[in-house]
Amino acid sequence: MAFLARSEESQCITSATLSDSRWLVAQRVIASRNFEKSGRLCTFLAYIVRCVIEERTDEITEQQIGIHVFGRAPGYNPGEDNIVRTTARQLRQRLAVYYLEEGSADELRIEVPRGAYIPVFQPGSKHLSELQSASLDSPSSTSQEPFTRSHDVHAPKKKAAKSWLYAAVLLLAGAALTLVAQKCISAVRLRASANDLLWRQMFSSTLNTIFVPGDAGLNMFNNETHAPDQVSLDDYIGGKYLYSLRAQSPNFAGAPIASRCYVPIADLQFAEHLASLPRFRRVSFRSSFPRDLTPQDFRNVNVILSGAPVYNPWDELFDVRLNFHFVYDGANNSMFVENRHPHTGEPSAYRTDWKRIFGYIALTDNLDNNGKVLLVEGTSLVGVEAAVDFLFNSKMMAPVLDKAKKSNGDLSSFEVLLDATSFGGGDGRVEVLATRFY
């Protein structure tokens, strides 16, 4: 257990923890070739497993992991520093690889459910198979008759009757399991087909698809200069803001931050998700930095825009058609969501604070009305991440897409405003605040 020396937490590990089977499982994973060279993943895994063993699950939050595992200062803002969420994704991926390779025969497996950080321990596939075999074999083992006298001529008939009974029970149980499995498969297919309807339109065979991530340098420019309003699309296209005195960023060496090509990690992860879709068409897909585009680039294409207007001014091209409008408050360096036409019981604006976060998904027509534009926004990077998670969750998206589905099978335009506050807090929950269908 050479890894223990790498963790500050290891100094107080009790003998009860060290002998716990769950800790031994974690150490086996840590010692594997998939983990041995990644100290950060090892420390992360050891911390969350130890907290579970020692019944300190209240300490398995994004805030506490950031402090105890990554050395962040108490009170740091996870909304601005996503190291915990990024590492958790890497941990899930690395665990999946480990259990496909070295850990394929492990009897106990560690899982970190998506959207949460508390690990769960599940029987391995080999152990499950043994349990299933044992359960299937148990009737035959109990069917053995007690000792009978040799002159009991009815014993063979009794055995035969019981054999038929057990066979019938097994047959009925198998039929029931098959029916349940078919229903589960059908439900999965229905959910998958709902999302597939969206991606079939975004990756059509007749139009190219362009992915436009956010310009993080533009957002840093807004934060640094405390501009009263976000940079307009006209100024962004013309580049006039780059030559203002406020854009020269005297606190930074070299090129002003406003002119640098920085892309948020949330948008890179979004693009990675897109590339893994069955409908993804590499030959007709391209991604472009927003500052390199012109309005002409948005014609006769499907468009996927990521990031709020402070990151991606191209949202303005399509914002006029939509109800929910993201507004930058330069004086307070924050954002809020304007509700242009509130429904009954809805506020006219959704205000953010240091812990209130919103995500947003919208589908509308492109400039030529022959393709689609998908907007994925958030009042912070956490809001964008929550919107991306919601978008790729077939179960959560199914009610939205079912309602947006037209009689010809295409999708009508829609908007979904999300409360991502709990997602940012680490428990992964995202709630729908309001929707619009057109």
User: Pick the residue with more confidence: 189 or 344?
Assistant: 344
**What DSSP letter does each residue of 229-242 carry, written as one string?**
SPPPHHHHHHTGGG
Exposed (0-12), middle (13-18) or buried (19+): which is 42, by Cβ within 10 Å?
Answer: buried
Contact present, 434 and 344 (Cβ < 8 Å): no
pLDDT of 164 reads 54
Report how far Cα 395 is from the mean position of its chain's Cα atoms.
13
- Through-space distance between the first and last CA atoms of the chain, rounded to whole angstroms: 60
What is the crossing angle of helices 39-53 and 83-100, to 10°?
A: 90
- CA-wise closest residue to 311 among 298, 301, 326, 300: 326
CB-hemisphere CA count at 13 Å for 30? Answer: 24
DSSP 405: B
Alpha helices by DSSP H, listed for 143-260, are 155-202, 216-225, 233-238
Kindly report the average pLDDT of the chain as a whole number: 80
Q: Is 131's pLDDT higher than 80? A: no
Q: Tokens 């969206």 — which residue? A: 198
Confidence of residue 75 (pLDDT cuts 50, 70, 90): confident
User: Pick the residue with more confidence: 128 or 321?
Assistant: 321
Contact present, 312 and 305 (Cβ < 8 Å): yes
Average pLDDT over every residue of 337-349: 95
Residue 165: helix, strand or coil by DSSP? helix
Q: What angle do CA 186, 189, 195 make, to 5 degrees?
A: 145
The predicted-structure confidence for 251-279, as pLDDT tens digits, reads as follows: 545 556 677 788 988 898 899 899 988 88
Q: Which residues contact 70 (CB under 8 A, 6 or more apart)?
A: 40, 83, 84, 87
CB-hemisphere CA count at 13 Å for 164? Answer: 5
CA torsion through residues 122, 126, 132, 138, sign: negative
Q: Which residues contact 301 (CB under 8 A, 6 or more apart)?
A: 207, 208, 209, 210, 366, 371
Residues in the chain: 438
pLDDT of 194 reads 61
For residue 372, what is the enclosing H or E element? strand 372-378
Alpha helices by DSSP H, listed for 203-347, are 216-225, 233-238, 265-275, 316-319
Q: Tokens 């969420």 — which residue? A: 85
The predicted-structure confidence for 369-419, as pLDDT tens digits, reads as follows: 999 999 999 998 889 999 999 999 888 999 999 999 998 888 999 999 999
Q: Is 191's pLDDT higher than 70? A: no
User: Pick the residue with more confidence: 95 or 330?
Assistant: 95
Contact present, 435 and 417 (Cβ < 8 Å): yes
Ranking 200-204, 315-319, 412-416, 421-425 by mean pLDDT, the lowest is 421-425
Q: Is 83's pLDDT higher than 90? A: no
Contact present, 290 and 215 (Cβ < 8 Å): yes
**Residue 322 φ/ψ, nearest 5 degrees:** -110, 165
Tokens of 50: 């130890």
Partners of residue 375 on adjacent β-strands: 305, 362
Average pLDDT over every residue of 33-49: 87
CB burial of 196-217 (b: ≥16 within 10 Å; e: otherwise) equals bbbbbbbbbeebbbbbbbbbbb
